[in-house]
Amino acid sequence: MADDLRIEPRDWMPDGYRKTLVRQIAQHAHSEIIGMQPEGNWLTRAPSLRRKAILMAKVQDEAGHGLYLYSAAETLGVERADLTEKLIEGKQKYSSIFNYPTLTFADVGTIGWLVDGAAICNQVPLCRSSFGPYARAMIRVCKEESFHQRQGYELLSTMMRGTDAQRAMVQESVDRWWWPALMMFGPPDDRSPNTEQSMKWRIKRHTNDELRQRFVDMSVPQAEALGVTFPDPDLIWNPDRGAYDFGEPDWSEFTEVIKGNGAANAERLANRRAAHENGAWVREAAMAFAARGQEDTR
């Protein structure tokens, strides 16, 4: 660890290292899969074939990200079926951000720009995480994430060159998603029970507050170029710090959302449960086909 070497699945590792990796990677995978729902809500209502094709590609990418991450978790000795059960039973988390509803098509752009932008801030350092399979999964995820962010920003800039109503729709969307995007990075460092140990084990390479600050500093010039503002009266450049000062997210809202009391938590889990149950026959057929294939080769 001290020599910044990668830990591989067959290496000895402290039980606590394995446990927190399963926790973080499983919840990361769950986030990717649940994250398909908010944007999926607009697949059948995209305003053009081009927008529908782009959105379809992005939602499919998220499914792939989930599969890479479940595969990385399985190298630690867990089964994705068990992880899915834990998700559906509410025993494992997924990112708070996906419990907010997508009320207008501008949300598809804002999610791409801000949510995937925040994800990039968080995931690029994870490409240097100490656990090999996780770090390698992140390399492919980050390449696709940059397409996700660019398509979102391009969608919004197109709307900003449209009508007053479209510009108002973009600003209203940004007002709704800015604070939840800051909460994606987790609680403040002084209220983060996992950060200190995860930094020591080089699972995390930066703290929650460091990455949140990096995201704010990256987003403000992009908002200015887009012609939108963020709903934070305390957001101001601090020349002494060489960074933006900004207000405090509502951590009571964050706590409620991750406790399951967000606007869309029940819907997201109900959809995931239904997809799992309705898809049981596909899993059974695939297992039967694989078993027959093994018999044929015997």
**Residues near ligand 3HC, by CB under 6 A:** 23-24, 27-28, 31-32, 35, 62, 65, 93, 95-96, 115-116, 119, 122, 183-187, 192-195, 198, 208, 258
Nearest residue (CB) to ligand 3HC, 228 versus 258: 258
Please name the residues in contact with 1: beta carbons below 8 A apart, sequence gap of 6 or more.
7, 130, 201, 202
- In the bound state with ligand 3HC, the residue whose beta carbon lies nearer, of 154 and 229, is 154
Among 254, 235, 253, which Cα is nearest to 244's? 235
Considering beta carbons, is residue 222 or 229 the nearer one to ligand 3HC?
222
- Closer Cβ to ligand 3HC, 87 or 119, answer by number: 119
In angstroms, the CA 42 to CA 48 distance is: 11
| Phi and psi at residue 105, to the nearest 5° | -70, -25
Closest distance to ligand 3HC from the beta carbon of 292 (Å)? 36
Closer to ligand 3HC by CB, 186 or 230: give it.
186
C-beta of 56: minimal distance to ligand 3HC in Å?
Answer: 15
**Structure tokens belonging to residue 12:** 């000895």
State how far the Cα of 170 lies from the Cα of 155, in Å rounded to an integer: 10
Q: Are 157 and 67 in contact (CB under 8 A)?
A: no
- Give min distance, CB of 101 to ligand 3HC, in A: 16
Q: How far is the CB of 259 from ligand 3HC (least distance, A)?
A: 10
Toward ligand 3HC, which CB reaches closer, 148 or 167?
148
Contacts of 167 (CB under 8 A, 6+ apart): 159, 160, 227
Please, what is the minimum distance in Å from the beta carbon of residue 214 to ligand 3HC?
13
Q: Which of 141, 198, 187, 189 is nearest to 23 (CA)?
A: 198
Minimum Å distance from CB 62 to ligand 3HC? 5
Q: How many CB atoms lie within 10 A of CB 193?
A: 8
Which ranges of 35-163 would DSSP assign to H, the alpha helix? 36-40, 49-74, 80-88, 106-110, 116-126, 132-160
